[in-house]
Homo-oligomer: A and B are copies of this chain.
Amino acid sequence: MDYRFAGRMSRFSSSAVRDILKWTQGKDVISFAGGLPAEEWFPKQALEDAFSRLFSEGTGRELQYGLTEGFPPLKELLVKRMDAIGIGCSVREMILTTGSQQAIDLTARILLEDGDTVLTENPTYLAALQVFQSAGASVRGINRDEHGIDPQLLEQAILEHRPKLLYVIPTFANPTGAVWSLERRRTVLELCRKHNVLILEDDPYGELLFEEGSRPPTLMALSGAAADSPVIYTSTFSKTVVPALRTGWAVADERIIAQLAKAKQAADLHSSCLDQQALYRLLLTFDLDGHIARLRQVYRERMETMVDCLKDPVWQEVRFEQPQGGMFLWLELPEGDDAAAFFPAAIQEGVAFVPGDGFFTEGGNGRSIRLNYSHSRPEVIREGMERLQRAYLRYKQQIPV
């Protein structure tokens, strides 16, 4: 057979992170590549109890087909959690999704047509770029300054490309870990409202902040309420509970939620409602906020361990900002270095990272790398960073002067 695939399939490639996993599989490699939460901190017992209660109290109905929009009682609890961070919405302004990844994908489906432009931060989340490319949109990256996405460049791009959508991660971004200032949030919101551009605010890391009370308001909260908001907000339980349940959510104006539900009906009818019901039961009794507070400490310690390792003189020409939250450290190697050439040396020493170029809309400068610190215990981070150091020295020696 001559299989004839759609043109869009060649417009995006499989994730670089995924390919790296293949490189490292079965080898003794310490991976700073994936965006994985810490397994040893998963609330395993609480989840086991939640599933056990779900089955013992269930009637069989809990195993039947569910609603496309998601399990209503879980949505009601989520509405309260949203309210606690200043996002006013009703259950009719929310839909549950298979991770926030699906919220990004469904947003693309309801909005984008071939030739539409999507604006994103540059660099940004790789799998979001894949979604927009696979939807046939052209993606334009907007560079940032220290306060967030550059508003002048943003307005120029809006005027030039008349995009339907701006995709952003304003808090502890992937891959940079950066946070927008409050003022920048207000400016971008105003710009998008003025030019009728929808903002997809992806907020999977917002709760993982290291300084109590330092979480900036979301764009959705700043926009007033979900009704008539220029923002579609999405987040997930993948980073605060566990990824395996694949439960994310989106909050937006009811007209948008209705379209997302229509698209989701075609995509998969609904996500696992067993997982949604178990999560609901977990939230009834488990102190999720206490758990998140512990995670913050754990991740902070890991981040500080990694940053500490970077104090070695070997790294003195490497630039980075110490993250205030999230899961990633973003390094820029000195002029003349090449992250893609450094990568094989790292694998050889038994440590993996993600070369940064894939996160850029039009390729980066070849010198950035993303390190994940959330997944590895401090002692593993130290060992991995020693390997990285050896690899870097080895890489530098091979470079012809």
List, in ascending order, chain B residues with CB within 8 A of A253's CB: 1, 3
A130 interface neighbour in B12, B111, B266, Cβ under 8 Å? B266
Specify how many copies of this chain sit in the oligomer: 2
A110 interface neighbour in B5, B15, B243, B261, Cβ under 8 Å? B5
List, in ascending order, chain B residues with CB within 8 A of A130's CB: 265-266
Given A12-B266, A44-B55, A111-B4, answer yes or no on A274-B60 (Cβ-Cβ < 8 Å). Answer: no
A30 to B136, CA, bound (A): 45
A1 interface neighbour in B18, B101, B229, Cβ under 8 Å? B229
**Binary contact track A60-83/B, C-beta < 8 Å → 1, others 0:** 111111101000000000000000
List, in ascending order, chain B residues with CB within 8 A of A112's CB: 6
Tell me if A109 and B134 are in contact (CB < 8 A).
yes
Stretch of A32-40, A88-96, A337-345 with 4 or more beta carbons under 8 angstroms from chain B: A32-40
A263 located at the interface, meaning its Cβ lies under 8 Å from any Cβ of chain B in the complex: yes
List, in ascending order, chain B residues with CB within 8 A of A116's CB: 6
Tell me if B268 and A98 are in contact (CB < 8 A).
yes
List, in ascending order, chain B residues with CB within 8 A of A267's CB: 98, 101-102, 105, 267
Tell me if B269 and A272 are in contact (CB < 8 A).
no
A302 located at the interface, meaning its Cβ lies under 8 Å from any Cβ of chain B in the complex: no
A211 located at the interface, meaning its Cβ lies under 8 Å from any Cβ of chain B in the complex: no
List, in ascending order, chain B residues with CB within 8 A of A255's CB: 3
Tell me if B64 and A39 are in contact (CB < 8 A).
yes
A390 located at the interface, meaning its Cβ lies under 8 Å from any Cβ of chain B in the complex: no
**Binary contact track A168-183/B, C-beta < 8 Å → 1, others 0:** 0000000000000000
List, in ascending order, chain B residues with CB within 8 A of A246's CB: 268-273
Q: How large is the interface on A (under 10, 10 to 19, 20 to 34, 35 or more residues)?
A: 35 or more
A273 to B261, CA, bound (A): 23
A52 interface neighbour in B7, B52, B66, B270, Cβ under 8 Å? B52
A256 to B150, CA, bound (A): 41
List, in ascending order, chain B residues with CB within 8 A of A265's CB: 14-15, 18, 127, 130
A42 located at the interface, meaning its Cβ lies under 8 Å from any Cβ of chain B in the complex: yes
A127 to B47, CA, bound (A): 33
Tell me if B58 and A44 are in contact (CB < 8 A).
yes
A377 located at the interface, meaning its Cβ lies under 8 Å from any Cβ of chain B in the complex: no
Interface residues, chain A, CB within 8 Å of chain B?
1-9, 12, 14-15, 18, 34, 36-37, 39-40, 42, 44, 47-48, 51-52, 55-56, 58-66, 68, 97-99, 101-102, 105, 109-114, 116, 127, 130-131, 134, 164, 193, 196, 198, 228-230, 238, 242-246, 253, 255-256, 259, 261-263, 265-275, 277
28 residue pairs of the A-B complex, CB under 8 angstroms, read: A1-B198, A1-B229, A6-B111, A6-B112, A8-B113, A9-B262, A14-B262, A14-B265, A36-B65, A37-B64, A39-B61, A44-B55, A44-B63, A51-B51, A62-B244, A63-B242, A63-B243, A65-B244, A66-B243, A97-B268, A101-B266, A101-B267, A102-B267, A105-B267, A105-B268, A109-B134, A244-B274, A246-B269
